[in-house]
């Protein structure tokens, strides 16, 4: 099975709307054509995961987690922001970017950055 990683880096309205919408559509694909899917939130976009003015984005992220989509964010940035406990409570995976990107390479994943 192939793997697709949607790397959400930019904290702008277009990227924050596109990535969850695309992930939802990919998740709806038939089992034969659906790749293993992961969203990796890293960099400026990580701030949106705890921003009170990003409720729609966060609701969609939480919905994807409930569907079984792995949503990962950088543990170092989460710790710096004091958000680690809250992110874990939401079911977000936390991993260092220094571990995540080599893992994607080892998995032969296609990574698309937004």
Does any domain span residue 3?
no
Does any domain span residue 86?
yes
pLDDT of residue 42: 95
Does any domain span residue 1?
no
Task: Count other Cβ atoms within 10 Å, centred on residue 80.
Answer: 11
pLDDT of residue 35: 85
Does any domain span residue 32?
yes
Does any domain span residue 2?
no
Q: Alpha helix (H) ranges present in 51-96?
A: 55-66, 75-81, 84-89
Could you tell me the residue range of the domain that residue 58 belongs to?
8-113
Number of structural domains (the chain) is 1
Name residue 71's beta-bridge partners. Answer: 39
Could you list the beta-strand ranges (E) of the chain.
3-8, 36-41, 70-74, 93-95, 110-113
pLDDT of residue 32: 78
Does any domain span residue 41?
yes
pTM of the model: 0.93
CATH number of the CATH domain containing 76 = 3.40.1260.10
Does any domain span residue 16?
yes
| Residue with token string 């220094």 | 98
Tens-digit pLDDT profile for residues 40-83: 999 999 999 999 999 999 999 999 999 999 999 999 999 999 99
């Amino acid at each position: 099975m192939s793997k697709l990683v949607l790397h959400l880096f930019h904290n702008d309205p277009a990227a924050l709307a596109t990535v969850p919408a695309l992930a939802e559509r990919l998740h709806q694909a038939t089992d034969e054509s659906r790749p293993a899917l992961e969203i990796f939130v890293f960099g400026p976009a990580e701030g949106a995961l705890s921003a009170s003015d990003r409720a729609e984005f966060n609701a969609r992220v939480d919905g994807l987690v409930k569907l079984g989509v792995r949503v990962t964010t950088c543990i170092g940035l989460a710790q710096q922001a004091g958000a680690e406990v809250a992110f874990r409570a939401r079911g977000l995976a936390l991993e260092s970017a220094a571990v995540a990107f080599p893992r994607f390479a080892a998995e032969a994943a296609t990574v698309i950055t937004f």
